[in-house]
Amino acid sequence: MRVCSVLGVCVLAVVVSVAAAALPPLGVVQAAAQPSKEYLDVEVKNDAVRSDLTINQAEDPSTDSSAEPPTDPPTDPPTDPPTDPPTDPPTDPPTDPPTDPPTDPPTDPPTDPPTDPPTDPPTDPPTDPPTDPPTDPPTDPPTDPPTDPPTDPPTDPPTDPPITTTLEPTDPSIPIPTATPPRTHKLTVGDLGTAEGVILTSFKSRDFYGFMSLPYAEPPVNESRFKYPEEFAGPWENKYYDASYLRPRCAQASLLFTGIVSGSEDCLHLSVYTPLLPEDLTEGQDALPVMVFIHGGAYMSGDAFLYVPTKLMDRDVVVVVVQYRLGLLGFLAAGVEEAPGNMGLMDQIMALRWVQKHIHHFAGDPDLVTVFGQSAGGASSSWMYLTPLTNASAEGNNGRQLLHRVIPQSGSALEEWTLDKDPESSFVVAASKLNCDNPGFTTADILNCMRSRHYEDVVNAAVAIYIEDRRAGGLGFKGLSPVVQRDIAGIHPVIPKDPREILDAAEFLNIPVMTGSVRDEGSLVMGLTYKDFMVYNNHTTEDVDFLKNDALMMLLQAFGIEDKTGSVSSSMRLTYLPDATMGDWDSMIGGMIDMSGVMFLKSGLWELTRRASLANENSPIYFYSWEYEADDSLFDWIFMSFPDIPVPGGVSHADELLYLFHLPAVHDERQKVMVDRMTKIWTNFAKYGDPTPEATREQWEDAIEKWNPYTPDQQNFMLIKDNFTMMVDYTTRWNYHSTGNDSTVEPPSTTMAPDMVSRDTYDDMKEERNNFAIATVVLGVVCAFCLLLFVIVYIRKRRKQNDIV
């Protein structure tokens, strides 16, 4: 059987990865004593090797986001970081947030990295204010954490004290710059009212504006839980909105799923960052291109906290970061209007409608919107590309197309994990986890029961589903991902049919696409497989029998491939582990990283590119393989609590985000060059629909070759290392660890070699496997028939001989 490409899975990882991004030797986490509001302050000095981010994020769903700002905002922070953390908690709730957070990083890194900035969010449900503030703050609490509640609490105290998280450099010897008082700026946003945002500092010390956590939809709570979002029409209360701090993330569990839930159901916000405002545009200057980012996190985790675009703000673009519902709250599918599924995707569409209406107030061009995202956000981006609901003709879009370019990074709608194949069974399992599976209940009864549950219970039910699936060898997406919505009365389906059908029928937007993946996508898969499946099932790296006989078949099964005959496993072994000693972990791990990376998402992305190019030849598609190696990698943060994991990270899932956003990294001069090239390429595509346009040739031609689009006949892709090199046929990079592609760079080619044949797509492989199985069955039936015929003839012949005798 020919070597076949395989479909993939998304990432519990960028839940993992991007959330882990919030974890450098995590600075100090200090619970503030109920301040009335918080601020985000970013300072990055381009002339120093450091990247410091201090974000104060509200965790209180009950906070009045529209209230007038306090009379006395924070004023004078200390000029020198304190040597020791504060030891005396305040006795009265301060008007101003604490101004002396500890700045010394802990000696030992935290052992429980979260998916969210707060290391351990409060365990009390937001609806019941705690009697005492937390006494065991995580990671590295002050020497004497507060143990007594404020003596004079406000009338309506926040239920979850806000948490100040300082992300510090990995090198504790690097000085931590002292935060300055936040500078604010007021902006009129049409009929909504006045938003007061903050002025931040970019990677190259340029000022830019941040307007954070602007609501784009009504809170999806009570009877609205599990339903499509309702537009926030405004205006803001008193026509004023304090946009100087981040509101809670969408409800989710911590990375290690220890029963700790953070965030809120009231989370449908977006944050707008812009280097210019309308009054800053010079005469004749066009409005700025808009880039809308959709975070990853396996549809279970992620938020706006991690994606402050300090690096992209050095280019003239407006960046919007969207939060959307996650887990069961965002993707429970009951097949009815009250829970149609894909609510998280519909949230994203609602955010894009908000952008069309209001982004011009931030100097953004609503006719030049690029949607980009990574991992589950990459898959979501491709859904925005494929869904009929982003077309100008869709109801609710007021005749406006919602996006004009798209960049799915390390994730697409064609991955194995991005569609729940059996939503009916998933709904039954979810009902069971929430004790809403009474035999006499109708669907409406079950949903009423599920809506009556506290949102923390709903989040923990999703966690239980995830854990069970992972420990059984699955990917953890069962019942927690998008669905095809067929014949649901009262709703417009986000996904009306299988994405392959949409692509083959050319029923998608005719817009430019840039997409690709990183070299070692599979290191995340293998790391999680080892941690969540092998360790739980008592398989070690010394388990020769398991590694030799079952490991490859287990990986295939995780990606939806039933290898009953063993033929697919054999093909995978010959392709990805040709020289490996089967049963030897060290010998096998490189090949398993390659193999799982292909199944994880490489083949799905390549197939999306191929099908879209065949169906629509008028819009260019640019493909890349990110293979840039550096000391900074999100793999280290993902597995911080598992430091001895026997999997090499390599160029890991989500590593490219380090060069676009303010994620924890200490960039050396070489990496700063990559920041410059990456932001230039990404924003070029947003501006021109071409990553290397002739108009900016002098800015990229020294190290970047002209990027030619993919075509069915010429399967171009860009190999991104220190330099950007054009290559042909991405499948030749799939068995990287067995072919030694790290030591050689193939010269760019302008034509496909006559004997160069791409490996089969996943669909081809599946069809081939099915044909093989059918042929085997047919052959077996024929053999059985022949054997039966032989027995009958033999018996009749013997009887005839006996009669003669």
Ordered DSSP codes for 53-112:
EEEEE---TTS-TTSPPPSS------SS--SS---S--SS--SS--S----SPPSS--SS
Confidence band for 778, pLDDT divided at 50, 70 and 90: low
CA distance readout (Å), 38 to 76, 96, 307, 526:
14, 9, 18, 39
- The pLDDT, as a whole number, for residue 629 is 95
- The pLDDT, as a whole number, for residue 486 is 86
Q: Is the pLDDT of residue 31 over 70?
A: no
With pLDDT > 70 as the criterion, what percentage of the chain qualifies?
71
- The pLDDT, as a whole number, for residue 642 is 83
User: Mean pLDDT, to the nearest integer, of 448-457?
Assistant: 97
- The pLDDT, as a whole number, for residue 726 is 96
CA 607 to CA 499: how far, in whole Å? 11
Confidence band for 708, pLDDT divided at 50, 70 and 90: very high
Residues contacting 280, CB < 8 A, separation 6+: 363
Q: Are residues 25 and 117 in the same domain?
A: yes
- The pLDDT, as a whole number, for residue 324 is 99
Q: Is the pLDDT of residue 166 over 60?
A: no
Q: How many residues appear in the chain?
A: 805
Q: Are residues 628 and 772 in the same domain?
A: no
Confidence band for 465, pLDDT divided at 50, 70 and 90: very high
Q: What residues make up the domain containing 373?
A: 1-755
pLDDT tens digit string along 534-576? Answer: 999 999 999 999 999 999 998 998 888 888 888 888 989 999 9
Average pLDDT, the chain: 78
Q: Are residues 436 and 576 in the same domain?
A: yes
- The pLDDT, as a whole number, for residue 783 is 63
Q: Are residues 798 and 696 in the same domain?
A: no
Between 53-67, 637-651, 730-744, 767-781, the lowest mean confidence (pLDDT) is in 53-67
pLDDT tens digit string along 228-240? Answer: 999 998 999 999 9
The model's pTM is 0.74
Q: Are residues 664 and 788 in the same domain?
A: no
Q: Are residues 162 and 242 in the same domain?
A: yes
Between 35-49, 97-111, 676-690, the lowest mean confidence (pLDDT) is in 35-49
- The pLDDT, as a whole number, for residue 420 is 95
- The pLDDT, as a whole number, for residue 576 is 93
**Looking at the 3D structure of the chain, how many domains does it have?**
2
244 is catalytic: no
DSSP 391-438: STTSTTSTT--S-SEEEEES--TTSGGGS-S-HHHHHHHHHHHTT---
Q: Is the pLDDT of residue 69 over 80?
A: no
Residues contacting 355, CB < 8 A, separation 6+: 270, 290, 292, 320, 364, 366, 369, 402
User: Mean pLDDT, to the nearest integer, of 711-726?
Assistant: 95
Of 755, 774, 791, the residue at which a domain comes to its end is 755
Distance of CA 329 to the CA centre of its chain: 17
CA distance readout (Å), 420 to 6, 182, 426, 483, 512:
18, 45, 8, 5, 28
Q: Are residues 685 and 797 in the same domain?
A: no
Q: Are residues 111 and 199 in the same domain?
A: yes
User: Mean pLDDT, to the nearest integer, of 278-284?
Assistant: 92
- Biggest CA pair distance of the chain: 119
Q: Are residues 450 and 573 in the same domain?
A: yes
Residues contacting 155, CB < 8 A, separation 6+: none
Confidence band for 256, pLDDT divided at 50, 70 and 90: low
Which of 33-37, 94-98, 214-218, 694-698 is most confident?
A: 214-218
Catalytic residue among 202, 375, 569, 625: 375
Q: Are residues 684 and 589 in the same domain?
A: yes
Confidence band for 254, pLDDT divided at 50, 70 and 90: confident
Confidence band for 313, pLDDT divided at 50, 70 and 90: very high
pLDDT tens digit string along 408-444? Answer: 999 999 999 999 999 999 999 999 999 999 999 999 9
CA 80 to CA 503: how far, in whole Å? 58
- The pLDDT, as a whole number, for residue 777 is 57
Q: Are residues 25 and 116 in the same domain?
A: yes
Please give the helix or strand (H or E) that residue 310 lies within, else none: none
User: Mean pLDDT, to the nearest integer, of 353-372?
Assistant: 98
For residue 525, give the nearest of 472, 477, 597, 470 by alpha carbon: 597
User: Mean pLDDT, to the nearest integer, of 351-372?
Assistant: 98
Q: Are residues 697 and 780 in the same domain?
A: no
- The pLDDT, as a whole number, for residue 780 is 63
Q: Which residues pair with 240 in a beta bridge?
A: 194
In this structure, what token pair is assigned to residue 333?
A: 């599918």
Here the CATH number for the domain that contains residue 723 is 3.40.50.1820
Residues contacting 745, CB < 8 A, separation 6+: 719, 721, 725
